[in-house]
Structure 1
Amino acid sequence: MDIPCGRASQAYLHERSIMIKRAAYLITAMSLLVSGYASADNGDQNLQTRPYLLGDWGGVRTQLAQDGVTFSLGYTGEFAHNFRGGTSHVSDYADQFALGTTLDLDRLLGWQGGSFQITYSKRGGESTSNDAHLGTLQQVQEIYGRGETWRLTRFYLDQKLWGDTVALRIGRLTLSDDFSSFPCDFQNNMICGSVPGKIVSSYWFTYPVSVWAARLKVKTTAETYAQLGVYQVNPVIGTTAYAEDYGWRPDNPKGTRGAVFPLELGWLPTVAGYPASYRLGFWYNNAGGDDLLLNTQGQPLAVSGGEPMQRNSRYGSYQNIDQQITGVAKGQGLSLFWRSAFADQATSQTDRVINVGAKYVGAFDRPDDYFGLTFGALHTNDRYNTFVDQSNAVHNKAEVAPKHNEYVLEAIYNIGLIHSVSIAPDLQYVIHPGGTTDNKNALVFGLKTNVNF
């Protein structure tokens, strides 16, 4: 990696040292805090199982919830060090605070079936993928990205009708909350969260970015549902520059180009006594985008020059499968998952992603421990590779076309120190970072910390 010289170098190394110490101090402090609480006779016998580290605030938290106001404060930190790959060995730490409030409008105002949700998030830290020059298409610390700043992540009204048969959500929403949603149990970004966001992140915004949107969900039977959404396409909202000045406000900056219309069909059966989730989704983006290969005359852009051909729409599909196969239903046992997404060939530089894995909950009879193993593959569009090859030939350049999949193998073990605090050591092996053999395969050690205050 490139390191500044002289005083700049000293400042850089000092800043890096502070960041690493911050991660180490946090993990140590959490361990000491948990062990101290657990061993002390403090009159709270529910520390091991209660949902919040800071407890019930002397009963205030429960009373507020009964009155219709609940609070959440969560913290996630991710340390990563590359033993192999990149241009140097680097240790980095990235983190996120999330502060939220849910207002039960029925209890507060007598508004039946209504609630309002507000969440702010703050990200910070550094990226091992960037600083070690790993060349990966996806970050090895999923918590990194979208700027080191506060963002308004959720700001919406949730209205249930006819019991919970129909649910309408409107306001500032994130696509990953509702469509192709998936827990962030792993640390590599290819495996964490909503899969379409891995390949069309320029308009499928995932947590912590929200846009103005609406979502309608209907329970079609006891085991099936359908939901449809309309989400603003405004690239400005996703930028760090916007977030640094205005990201905390529920405003609407100029730059809206259209909307994404996602549709998801879900089946939530019980198979052989175990819960399952089968979801099929589609999306259509009427904002369109630049063609990767052709100009406005239909000729190769790299050869003939000019402006990219404008496509009127962008689209894709996704598939999510989760199935528990052993143990106690919704408890200790082994579950398998498959997730994939495919985007249109005309405009999507990365056009498909697939990951498959397993998760065993309750390892060693510890209810909050789990072991996870997963494999992922991310593919770069062949039309984009053709553009790079043509550009190299015409302009005598040596840009490397990503003609291989980027593969990720990841193993993680989550240790539930108590129900509200966990640490998870993890190993990642990235094959063909950036989709090319020019980058060294990377071996990365990670440590993920989650705290629910």
Structure 2
Amino acid sequence: MPSAIRLTPPALLLALASTGAFADTDLLTRDTLTGDWGGLRHQLEQDGVKVTGDYSGETAYNAHGGLHRSARYSQNIKLGVQFDLSKLYGLDNAGKVQLTINDRRGNSASEELVGNRLPIQENYGGLYTRLTELSYERTLFTPALNVKLGYMAMGNDLGGLDSGILCNFMNAGFCGHPLNMSGGSGWTNYPNAHLGGRIKYDFSPAWQLRVAAFNVDPQSNGNSSRAWHLGPKHTTGTVVPVELVYKRLAELAGEYKLGYYYDSSNVKRIGSSKEVAGRGGHYLLIDQAVWNDPAMPGRSLHAFGQYSASSEAASPFTKWYGTGVVLYKPFANRPRDTVALGYGRAVQNPRSRDVLQEAAFDAGQPFPNIDGAEQLIELSYGYQATPWLNLRPDVQYIVEPGAFSGKDIDNALVLGLQVKASF
């Protein structure tokens, strides 16, 4: 791996910011850390080549409960380039090619400090450099039909809210798609990518249908030896999600998603040596503005909701409930800041609990009287320090951290800081 990626995040940001080639505009007002590269970046985009780069760092300190008092840090660096073939070759509707590389490093506060199921740091996992997308996208036959093919993560286009409201949180239980979907099927978390295709069709400005099909290849998930292999190692089936999207186009705007997915893979039933043919699930996601401040344009309060249910035969947890609110522009002089408060509940599969209980009895150990669900309360403040830098102090309170491991672990209070920067 190049040594530049191994620089500590503060040193890396300082090195980039202080490089003379990038000092063409004021550091505090430009859109990206490295600026316009003396006009080169803008010219490249005009010609059809858009270069992007993002860093996120998440530090979490376990202040009470859990397993240990200490802190853990994880980071994600994403570099991408998009080729607009219409601009590059002077063709009509030639489409776009997206190439993205991702690198993750660090340690897990959930695994090492708290012992809970829902990752406290959403950017932890798959700690190596990998190809995360190589895709081709274009409209087909009509502007209402958009097609995307290639090697990519499912969550880029399905299973989450397009508004991005859920990533005002640091815990992966909120940021992204409901985790029981990937826990009990071939639906994979970013940055795990697989071969597949996605179709979007606009019935109207408000209604859209999304359908996709992705190869299921569990042996490649989180496998560093497969970091640059587009083809599957061992295909078990195909996962097909179908999603109906409604965008409420009004003063109080909203986004509603109703989805269903089916994985054709044969897998073992939990607590049994028998196999189940196929796994499925469904979900409902909502982001609805409930208040706009008439005296302060841009200041609004949004409420969100998540519900997801997955196969009881093969999913470690069968249901996820999430709800909360996000206040945009909390202060007149802070137009891009946010305040977010969320509550989530991950319900363990009773079959998984039975397996843990039987294993404890067989070992002659008592099984603790704990709840069959892990609960999460999270509060964060997103401080947009510059157009390219966001600082997010974060507090998470985790109830029944040992629900999924069958261990009696005290409720945990975790203090965190998320840093996001665009290069």
Do both share a fold (TM > 0.5)? Answer: yes
Partner of 1:11: none
Structure 1 pair 321–121 and aligned structure 2 pair: CA distance change class (3 A):
same
Counterpart for residue 245 of structure 2:
266
2:172 to 182, 186, 189: 189
Q: CA 1:250–1:166 in structure 2 vs 1: closer, same or farther (change >3 Å)?
A: farther
2:414 paired residue number:
444
Of the three residues 241, 250, 263, the one matched with 1:285 is: 263
Which structure 1 residue ranges, 4+ long, deviate > 4 Å from structure 2?
Answer: 196-199, 397-403
Q: Is the 8 A contact 1:385 1:402 kept in 2?
A: no
TM (norm. structure 2) is: 0.89
Contact 1:196 1:318 in 2 (8 A): no
- Which residue is equivalent to 1:86? 66
TM-score, length basis structure 1: 0.83
In structure 2, give the amino acid aligned to 1:355.
Answer: G
For the pair shown, the structure with the greater C-alpha radius of gyration is 1
1:386 is paired with a residue of what secondary structure?
helix
> Residue type of the partner of 2:213?
V
Residue 119 (structure 1) aligned to one of 100, 113, 122: 100
CA distance in 2, matches of 1:423, 1:238: 30
Structure 2 match to 1:413 = 381
Q: Secondary structure at the match of 1:277?
A: strand
Change (3 A) 1:427 1:157: same
**Does structure 1 residue 66 correspond to structure 2 residue 46?**
yes
Partner of 1:332: 299
The answer on 1:128 being equivalent to 2:95 is: no
2:287 to 322, 330, 351: 322
Match of residue 376 from structure 1: 344
- Amino acid across the alignment from 1:101: V
- Write the letter of the residue equivalent to 2:375: Y
Deviations 1:390-409 (A, max 9, x none): 34445535466864210111
Amino acid at match of 2:116: T
1:38-67 deviations in Å (ceiling 9; x for gaps): xxxx8736x555431211111111111111
Of the three residues 328, 336, 357, the one matched with 1:389 is: 357
**Structure 1: runs of 5+ lacking an equivalent:** 1-20, 295-307
Which piece of structure 1 moves more, 51-60 or 396-405?
A: 396-405
Residue 4 of structure 2 corresponds to: none
Instruction: Give the structure with the larger helix fraction.
Output: 1
| 3-state SS of 1:142 partner | coil
1:164 CA displacement:
3.0
**RMSD of the alignment, in Å?**
2.6
The one of 129, 147, 158 equivalent to 1:150 is 129
C-alpha separation in 1, matches of 2:235 and 2:416 = 38
Structure 1 pair 290/43, CA: closer, same or farther in 2 (3 Å)? closer
Distance 1:323 1:340 in 2: 15
1:8 alignment partner in structure 2: none
Q: Distance in 2 between matches of 1:387 and 1:447?
A: 37
Rate the CA distance shift 1:385–1:226 in 2: closer, same or farther, 3 A.
same
Question: How far off its partner does 1:201 sit?
Answer: 6.2
Secondary structure in 2 matching 1:312: strand
- 8 Å contact 1:385–1:403 — kept in the other structure? no
Aligned to 1:14: none
Percentage of identical aligned residues = 27
Shift in CA distance, 163/253, structure 1 to aligned 2, threshold 3 Å: closer
Deviation track 1:365-384 (CA, whole Å, cap 9, x = no partner) reads 21221111101110101122
Question: Are the aligned partners of 2:149 and 2:197 in contact in 1 as well (CA < 8 Å)?
Answer: yes
Q: Any conservation in 1 of the 2:30–2:388 contact (CA below 8 Å)?
A: yes
Give unmatched runs, 5+ long, in structure 2. Answer: 1-6
Q: How far apart are residue 386 of structure 1 and its match?
A: 2.3
